[in-house]
Chain A
Amino acid sequence: MTIKLEINGKIDHVSGEITVRELLREKDVEDPDMVSVKLNGTILDRAAFDTVQVRENDEVEFLYFMGGGSQK
């Protein structure tokens, strides 16, 4: 059953109460190593991607690692 989330400020729907890692895959985030995830105001430890699940009405932010362009 789909659930409603707010992802990067926009309302979105995902397939269910899935883990953060699954969420990244479902939202086509190419490289989970290049993203930091904020869930309901808290920055997640990378190790928690596999254990923490998203729930209805959660607010998620994907923050991308950005270098300087020439040498990323």
Chain B
Amino acid sequence: MPAAAHSASEPHESRVAPGTVRRAVVVGGNRIPFARTGGAYAKSSNQDMLTAALDGLIARFGLQEERIGEVAAGAVLKHSRDFNLTREAVLGSALSPETPAYDLQQACATGLETVLGLANKIKLGQIDSAIAGGVDSASDAPIAVSEGLREVLLDLNRAKSLPERLKILARLRPKDLAPDAPNTGEPRTGLSMGEHQALTTAQWKISREAQDEIAFNSHHNLAAAYDRGFFDDLVTPYRGLSRDSNLRPDTSMDKLATLKPVFGKSLGAEATMTAGNSTPLTDGASTVLLGSEEWADARGLPKLAVVVDGEAAAVDFVHGKDGLLMAPVFAVPRLLARNGLTFEDIDFFEIHEAFAGTVLSTLAAWEDEEFGRTRLGLDGALGKIDRAKLNVNGSSLAAGHPFAATGGRIVASLAKMLHDNGPLDGRPARGLISVCAAGGQGVVAILEAYSAPEGR
């Protein structure tokens, strides 16, 4: 039965003894279709989209008026007025207004990090339920005034007399009036993300064709997943869109081959990254419902997957030691080792397709004997993954990539895939998520199909 709303003073249903941990399960997810920038959601704010994604989740799982333990979400491109974005979205949603919320930001890893942080709180018994999420709008991006104008305005505010004010105003120069729009350039290198990846792609000698093939698979896998109804309980339409607007079900290797390189033009003939094998700027939002087993059971909610573990890494891209988006290369072996696993134990690989080149450079690094020995501290290569297990229902190249929303998209989809597969070879199906992020960062995680603990 749908549970009665929690009163604000009601304690948790179950406490966990200090020092012990319990399992955190993925109950399900909801996202709005992702839209190419300037498209269907051009007039939608981050708060609008996050609220819509939350309301769809609430409707799917009957959470109206429910006090959720905590909601965490974030946006990468964020207006200063959205200082309490997630809490504001909660207040605008059908959840109990007594649901606390916080914002989190770790560039493109924001969504995955909200899942890991909240899952940890559930594991520790601090909360019984949580909603993780993320949203981004490149259409409704914040535009700031220039540093020059900003300083003048602030000084003006502090000035006490008219002559003082006039003196300050006289400092203004025409160039100060130009607005300051956000970009995806790295503050420390001045290079865009695409230009950074172009260097990495060339360094690992990734061919144009291999990149186009990743893009081709992404579109075809995502389209097939939509066609067989895979997203029927993962996506709620928004503003007239019921599928991701970037999806090109009819794309072909030939079509992809005709596109001209857009990044790494300085590389000349070695330039391989096109608009087809790079993700476009996208608007969208995603949410994931997490809970303890008891919390889900008490409400008759599904338990799709268990959040097993997560790991973050960062690389020194500033001095060129590693590529900007290569941090997951280091995070994954650490995560696998801690959990006593190898690639053989993973059934689904969800590697975020920032660029096809990112996925392929990552795989190449893991397959490289010398890299494994010298950089990962292993006896040899970390390993080769079975491509048939990679992004089987499509990924960011087809769906698009509203920065902070990608983690939630992947976690909810993977949890469903794992649940649909159930046990494999006598153990729960297992999935690995890898998300690269600006600033040379990366967050990776392991999810496992839910199976009842022994004796239950």
B is a partner of A: no
Taking Cβ atoms with an 8 Å cutoff, the residues of B that contact A are: none
